[in-house]
Structure 1
Amino acid sequence: MKIGIMSDTHDYLPNIRKAIEIFNDEGVDLVIHCGDFVSLFVIKEFKNLKAKVIATYGNNDGERCKLKEWLKDVNEENIIDDYVSFEVDGLKFFVMHGTNKEVLDAIIASKKYDVVIYGHTHERVFNEKDGVLIINPGECCGYLTGKATIGIFDTKTKEYEEIEL
């Protein structure tokens, strides 16, 4: 399965639209958003996405109840919570925004998950620690680093492709 990964969109509609177009073109089955949608109006863009969304709340997502409601309106299968864990193709995933480094480090150290995905720092990460793949897609908005990125993870090959928007 191909999984699209994005984080920290921070209302930047041009890059959200580009990311959704790429995910659709690449035929991803699932998109993980690691938080910081920021404003509710960006959710309307996800109506164009041909995949389910699993998301976490970011520290800048203020309207949490409405965010959950609007994501469900886009696709009843969409999920958002503070932390999300799930299994796909025999791989156990844990997703969080990443504001609490102690929790992130503890989750990685637990070795209960094959893949840990987070956002918040706006810094791109793809590495392995003690058999755990760790992914941060960077920032979709491009505000802090000047480099807007998303990623696609293949669950069969465990390959990760970073895509600059």
Structure 2
Amino acid sequence: MKLLVFSDSHRANITDMLALIDEEKPDAVVHLGDLVSDVEDIHFVYPELPVYNVRGNNDWGDDETPNSMVIPVEHVRLFLTHGHLYGVRRDTKRLVEAARAEGCQAALYGHTHRAEIHQEDGVLVANPGSISRPYTAEPPSYLRLTIQGDAIESELVYLKNTKKKRLWL
């Protein structure tokens, strides 16, 4: 199963998200917050595509969208959150603890606008960066997850660039 993971679109890059969905034809999309309203556009254009999303720190007034969620994909459980409630600007320790407590093999988060993938205490930790406003010199980015059984291939993909970073779990 292939998932595209976006975060921190801030209503600035819905066009690229839609184009990537057209190009990559994922089985599902994940949006890790900021802004949840962008998910409405994805649902409008792709009403049959499963889209999972969580609320970010800039999603004010949205009491219906959860701050975090767990989704099962094949034999893997993914912990989704924006990250601001787990202190991810400092480190990912609390995030990993929360994912492990939920029996998850991966923790996906946003908030920092910095793309990264690493393993921590047996958990794949991945941030797709910002699809519209990265805080680094890197171009906008997203995460491609391919899950087969209990194997996860995670790949950071940068727009307008061939740079990619992969990690398997």
TM-score (norm 1): 0.79
5+ residue gaps, structure 1, are 69-79
Q: Give 1 or 2: higher helix fraction.
A: 1
Deviation at 1:127, TM superposition (A): 1.2
Is the 8 Å Cα contact of residues 113 and 135 (structure 2) preserved in structure 1?
yes
Q: What is the aligned residue count?
A: 148
* Other-structure match for 1:3: 3
* Other-structure match for 2:83: 98
Q: Hey, what's the Cα distance between the residues in 1 that align with 2:71 and 2:40? A: 25
Q: Which has the higher contact order (CA 8 A, sep 6+)?
A: 1
* Other-structure match for 2:154: 160
Q: Hey, what's the Cα distance between the residues in 2 that align with 1:137 and 1:154? A: 14
Counterpart of 2:35 in 1: which secondary structure?
A: coil
2:110 to 91, 106, 119: 119
Amino acid at match of 1:162: L
Counterpart of 2:116 in 1: which secondary structure?
A: strand
Counterpart of 2:21 in 1: which secondary structure?
A: helix
Counterpart of 2:118 in 1: which secondary structure?
A: strand
Deviation at 1:34, TM superposition (A): 0.6
Counterpart of 1:9 in 2: which secondary structure?
A: coil
1:61 to 53, 59, 62: 59
Q: Hey, what's the Cα distance between the residues in 2 that align with 1:109 and 1:87? A: 14
Query: Does the C-alpha gap of structure 1 residues 43 and 153 become closer, same or farther in structure 2, counting only changes over 3 Å?
Result: closer
Counterpart of 2:127 in 1: which secondary structure?
A: strand
Counterpart of 1:19 in 2: which secondary structure?
A: helix
* Other-structure match for 1:52: 50
* Other-structure match for 2:166: none
Deviation at 1:162, TM superposition (A): 1.9
Q: Hey, what's the Cα distance between the residues in 1 that align with 2:143 and 2:108? A: 11
Identity rate of aligned residues, in percent?
A: 27
Counterpart of 2:107 in 1: which secondary structure?
A: strand
